[in-house]
Amino acid sequence: MKESPQSKKLEAMLRSSKLVAGGFLGTDNRSVSEIIETDRQTAAAAGYSTAEIARRMQEITDIAVTGLGNFVRIDEGLEAMVEEAKGSLVCPWPHPGTYAKRVTILRDTKNQKLLQWSDLNIHMIAEHGFFEGRGSTFRLEPDELADVIF
């Protein structure tokens, strides 16, 4: 299917490093719509919608914030901390909105596996179903993420 000029513009923005170092798509050569659709299906196969995943991520972040930069218990076998930096991030989609430069680090204490996401990731998953491209710093695999957070 032919891409609209808006989609092309969005993809160029996501591939560029205008907003974050290395961009949002990493080494992923797929189109943005293909990434979003594949991830939606993967999340659905794991039993969750992208909105449900984003909601749970937000819940975890909200608890982790109370640790003031230290790990706090989320659930049995899960702990998380939030790191904040000066400034804000803007969503690459063409709509107003800025997000704190805040990274939630989630640790699965059973296997010490770490996952991380920013406030912008939560927004992009909730509103745009976008988990970033493979190879980008903040790429989250929807099924692996769902497996850990639920």
CB of 143 to another protein, least distance (A): 22
CA distances from 88 to 57, 61, 110 (A): 19, 17, 33
Instruction: Compute the distance between CA of residue 12 and CA of residue 147 in angstroms, rounded to an integer.
Output: 32
User: Which residue lies nearer to another protein by CB, 18 or 110?
Assistant: 18
Considering only residues 100 through 139, tell me which ones interact with another protein, judged by CB under 8 A. 100-103, 116, 118, 136-138
Is 41 a binding residue for another protein by CB under 8 A? The answer is: no
Considering only residues 14 through 33, tell me which ones interact with another protein, judged by CB under 8 A. 16-22
Both tokens of residue 12?
Answer: 């160029």
Is 3 a binding residue for another protein by CB under 8 A? The answer is: no
Is 71 a binding residue for another protein by CB under 8 A? The answer is: yes
CB of 128 to another protein, least distance (A): 17
User: Which residue lies nearer to another protein by CB, 1 or 21?
Assistant: 21
* Paired residues of 99 in beta bridges: 89
Is 5 a binding residue for another protein by CB under 8 A? The answer is: no
* The 78-90 sheet, strands edge to edge: 72-75, 78-90, 98-108, 113-118
Q: Please report the sign of the dihedral spanned by the C-alpha atoms of residue 14, residue 134, residue 98, residue 50.
A: positive
Instruction: Compute the distance between CA of residue 22 and CA of residue 38 in angstroms, rounded to an integer.
Output: 22
Task: Write out the residues near another protein by the rule CB under 8 A.
Answer: 16-22, 65-71, 81-88, 90, 96-98, 100-103, 116, 118, 136-138
